[in-house]
Amino acid sequence: MASTTRSAPQDKAFSFNILDRDPSSQARRCKLATPHGTIETPAFMPVGTIGTMKGVTPEQLSATQTQIMLCNTYHLQLRPTADVVSHFGGLHSFIGWDKPILTDSGGYQVFSLGRINKISDKGVAFQSHIDGARLWLDAESATEIQNKLGADIIMCFDQCPPLPCDRETIEVAVERTVRWADRCRNAHRREDQWLFGIVQGGLDIDMRRSCLDRLVEIGFDGYAVGGLSVGESHEEMVTILEALESSLPAEKPRYLMGVGMPRDLYASVRLGIDMFDCVLPTRNGRNAYAFTAKGPLKMRNNTHMLSEAPLEDGCDCYTCNNFTRGYIRHLFMAGEMLGPTLTSIHNLRFFQRLMSRMRDLIQTGELETILTEFPVCNAGATGTLDDD
């Protein structure tokens, strides 16, 4: 049975306020205050899985105007462990990042590492992908670990069903997700952390709505839509978000997990989503893929060899202010680590520029203008700009 009382009192440092709404969609501009700073939404969270943005220092990350980053419970518990992080005063002091942090619960690894774990109603027995060591995660331990890590926002432990998926498997995953969420809320011990519930249900709209209704009955500080960006089409993602939009509590933050392609961000913002996370800026940056408003660049291509242009005209990032495409291509071809770093910095700034511009356009009631200023957000946009 669902809990009837909160597991942790409300910290006065937290608040969530809707500032503006776009008249032609469900998009909204909001402010989410946390103990480590205020987040303006729609907001994009880059992923620092084990407490680091690969190849990018906290100072460089801050310079991209990133407001909040994401770290991972499963990976941090494997190394260095939550107890070690707690010894150093929590994640913020341990990693040198004084802005907000969100930690996921390890629930995604229940899906992504399914071949090396065993799931039951009690929890999940993992076999470490690093050295084979055993790790047990359940609702209580995942919450306790996140309490020790000390992030501003923590997530319920959940089960993400694979795609494609039969109805019975989805029902089992939803039932576990809801029961685990209730256990997470009861286990939550810190008043200076907000706890978000996660809506699962695959591509089954009825199961999604049922999961959301039951989570709302339990009551959380915010609600995330999980289990997307796992192989569904853009259109299928939009269909799920459309089905959930009217039932997601309007007064609470709404978070779409793991989604980061520009066209997906725009479509989801139109449907009232406030927060996003994805590995794309840095993962693609390490692989010589640069995001721009008009479309991506592949920086190993010969077309950039003699180019004196920045990665993107008009971009104000450190990379574009100081280096040419020709030099960045040279770094990748020579195997120099600076190439991935410079491209990651640009990509991180690209996503923050995109989200900042969407916030501005929501405020003026002109969100659709983003399709002109950032054509890459158009659902039909394909291809790269390497032949420009």
Q: Could you give the residue numbers annotated as active site?
A: 104, 277
Name residue 223's beta-bridge partners: 197, 254
Query: At 160, which amino acid appears?
Result: C
What distance in Å separates the CA atoms of residue 219 and residue 200, rounded to the nearest whole number? 16
> What token pair was written down for 363?
């405020």
Query: At a CB cut-off of 8 Å and minimum separation 6, what does 305 contact?
Result: 326, 329
What distance in Å separates the CA atoms of residue 222 and residue 257, rounded to the nearest whole number? 13
- Nearest CA to 2 out of 220, 160, 159 is that of 220
Question: Which ranges constitute the DSSP H helices of the chain?
Answer: 58-63, 73-78, 82-87, 91-95, 107-112, 139-149, 167-187, 205-218, 234-245, 262-270, 280-286, 318-322, 325-333, 338-364, 370-373
What distance in Å separates the CA atoms of residue 217 and residue 117, rounded to the nearest whole number? 30
Residues 300, 289 contacting (CB under 8 angstroms): no
What distance in Å separates the CA atoms of residue 108 and residue 357, rounded to the nearest whole number? 30
Cα angle at 14 between 199 and 181, to 5 degrees? 25
Report DSSP state, residue 28: E
